[in-house]
Structure formats: C-alpha cells, structure tokens
Amino acid sequence: MAKHVWLPLVLALLTLGCSSEDASVIQNDNSQVDAGVDQGTEPAPAEGTIGYSAMSLKNPFFVIISDSLKQAGAEHGFSVITTDADTDVNKQANQIEDFISQGVDAIVLNPTDRLAIGPAIKKANEAGIPVFTCDLQCVAEDIEIAGHIGTDNFQGGELAGGAMVEVLGEEGGEVLVLDFKQANSCVLRVDGFKKVLDEHNASTDDGKITIVAEINGGGDQDIGYKAAADSLKAHPNLRGIFAINDPSALGAWQAVKEADRLDVIQIVGFDGELAGKQAILEGKIYADPIQFPKQMGQGIIEKLLAYQAGQEYEKITLIPTALYKKEDAEKDPELKAAE
C-alpha cells in the first residue's frame, strides 16, 4: 500500500476537525505538497513542455488542476499544453498520441477510463515520455506510471458515509448512489462509503441504511440529474443520495426539487468546489468530503523534477479529505467573496 503524505495543513485539519473555525483554512489550498522529493537536495531547474489531458474542463475541479499545473510549471521553465478529453477515452488517447508527436517532456492526465486508457499510456512509455496521473489513477496492466498525486478517495468515502449516517439519524432508510465506475477514484469513494454503512448496519437493529441502487451519474450535472430523476420514480421511499462529485450532486438536487421531495431526501456530495460549497451553504447538499486540487499541480511538478534528476521520490501521494458542512460554509471567506 502506498504511503500517505501528511502535510502540515492536512495534519491541522485532521487534528482540529472540519469545524466552522477551520473554514478559512480548509478553503485555502495554496500550500505546497511534499511529493516525496529528497528535501536535502533541490531538483535542478528544468525547461520543457508538459502535455495535460484533463478529464473534463466542464468540471471546475480539473480547471483548478490545470491552473495550478501551469503556475507551478512556469516557476521551473515548463510550458503546459492543456487539452479537454471531455470524458471520452478515445479522445484522450488521441490527445496522448498528439503529445507524443509533439515530443513533450512529460504527460499528465486524469484518466477518463481507469483501464481503457492503458494502450495509449503504453505508447507514451515506448516513446520514453514519462506519464503522471493526477486525481484519477490508471489500473491497467503492463504500463508504467512515473508518479501519481491525488486524493485519499477511500478515506473521503468513509467521511461521506459518516455524514449520511449522521443526517439520516435513527430512522435510516433507502439510499441511492450516483457513481462513475470508469474512474478508479470514484470506485474507491463508493467503497469507503459502503464500508461505513456496513459498520453502521452491523451495530444497530433499527435505523439501517440500505443502498437500493447504484447508477452512473457520469460525474456530470446533466447526467446526474437524469439518473436521479429516473431513480426517484423507481424508488419512492428514498431518503438519501450519495453522489461521487459536486456536479452530479447538484444534478440530483435539481431532480429532487422537481419531484417536490427536498424535505425528505438528503444529499451528500464530494469535491468541495465553489459551487458545491455554495450549495452546502444554501442547504442543498448536507456535506462534502473536500479535496485540494491546487496542491496537485505543484506535487506533479515536484515529482517530474525529481524524476528528471534521477532522485528518489514518493511515486504515489494521497491527500486526505476533510468533511465540510454548513457551519464551515458560513465562515468560509471564499463564499462571502462570491456573494
């Protein structure tokens, strides 16, 4: 199992919890990540080009990663070419081939499919171009990933499960999961969520929480809306929805609103992007395990510099999430500035 990297910021979050006092700390995601580079030796400055294939630039989360990658890269002489795979594995494969043809120094991607993107990565391996994954991991066989930085998604799923247990209370009830199985990170989120629900159900005779359906929410607001709308018709007794990211959670909220069931159905999301935090402030989403995408671009650049310098570095870096609720949103300066 890969070692977790515990940063001062993350340690503070885990020690203090995600209370309203910590909202300004939680949303301030500009600190650097220790990506396992030997701190005794600074990697030499480098120049070159990085190709970044984002899973979907419709999702603000990946825009933040792109921006942080460009900012961190520029500090070391790298220019970053960002492309939008639009959740299409064939499109992403073509983008990787284009990067190979352009002779980039490194490729960074959020895999649109944890398995199907493998052959394209293999081509980059054969061309001698290091491939780094960010946020989403690839689990295809016979490929080489030079490094990965992302969220501890299983731990985040556990926090989501705890939030669902908390909000449903002693009554429990039926729950819908809007998943996205093409992404390994989202599979881990659901696994962590289920683990906590299983533990809860084993500890009580009443108030059990039952997952009645797991449906593809696409990680997308429109797809999440349609999936939730269809499920509300099939499962009239739903009391909760867990969506693997904020866009699908917001789509689910719209479906619940149109079905006039906001008073009985609670939604737990995942991400902590601005729209998700705003929805939590407004009471649309109960809680989010939040991620720290600004740290990811910095961490990838640190790994790339260590790779080029032949230094030892941590191949896999996982950043723990922190639970974000309405009391945190009420004191979040990021939201006050957006009002």
Q: What is the pLDDT of residues 28-63, one digit of tens each?
A: 343 333 334 444 445 445 579 999 999 999 988 899
- Domain shared by 18 and 73, yes or no: yes
Q: Looking at the domain assignment, is residue 46 inside a domain?
A: yes
Q: Looking at the domain assignment, is residue 325 inside a domain?
A: no
- Domain shared by 193 and 246, yes or no: yes
Instruction: Tabulate helix, strand, coil % of the chain (nearest 5).
Output: 45, 20, 35
- Domain shared by 37 and 112, yes or no: yes
- Domain shared by 206 and 244, yes or no: yes
- Domain shared by 78 and 209, yes or no: no
CATH number, domain containing residue 55 = 3.40.50.2300
- Domain shared by 146 and 169, yes or no: no
Q: How many CA atoms lie within 13 A of 90 on its CB side?
A: 0
- Domain shared by 266 and 303, yes or no: no
- Domain shared by 278 and 129, yes or no: no
DSSP letters for 101-135: HHT-SEEEE--SSTTTTHHHHHHHHHTT--EEEES
Confidence of residue 15 (pLDDT cuts 50, 70, 90): very low
- Count up the domains in the chain and report the number: 2
Q: What span, in angstroms and rounded, lies between the C-alpha atoms of 27 and 161?
A: 22
Range of the domain at 177: 154-290
Q: Are 57 and 84 in contact (CB under 8 A)?
A: yes
Q: Are 123 and 100 in contact (CB under 8 A)?
A: yes
- Residue whose structure tokens are 């294939």: 53
**Partners of 131 in beta bridges:** 107
Pairing of strands 131-134, 287-290: unpaired
- Domain shared by 113 and 244, yes or no: no
- Domain shared by 229 and 307, yes or no: no
Q: Looking at the domain assignment, is residue 53 inside a domain?
A: yes
Q: Looking at the domain assignment, is residue 324 inside a domain?
A: no
Q: Which of the residue ranges 9-13, 17-21, 169-173 has the most confident prediction, judged by mean pLDDT? A: 169-173
Q: Are 104 and 48 in contact (CB under 8 A)?
A: yes
Q: Which residue has the higher pLDDT, 205 or 14?
A: 205
Q: What does the pLDDT read at residue 251?
A: 98
Q: Is the pLDDT of residue 3 over 80?
A: no
Give 296's contacts (C-beta < 8 A, 6+ positions apart). Answer: 33, 65, 68, 69, 134, 135, 149, 150, 319
- Domain shared by 35 and 72, yes or no: yes
- Domain shared by 277 and 307, yes or no: no
Q: Is the pLDDT of residue 196 over 60?
A: yes
Q: Looking at the domain assignment, is residue 236 inside a domain?
A: yes
Q: Could you tell me the maximum CA-CA distance found in the chain, to the nearest angstrom? A: 62
Per-residue pLDDT reduced to its tens digit, 75-101:
999 999 999 999 999 999 999 999 999
Q: Looking at the domain assignment, is residue 30 inside a domain?
A: yes
Q: Looking at the domain assignment, is residue 329 inside a domain?
A: no
Q: Looking at the domain assignment, is residue 66 inside a domain?
A: yes
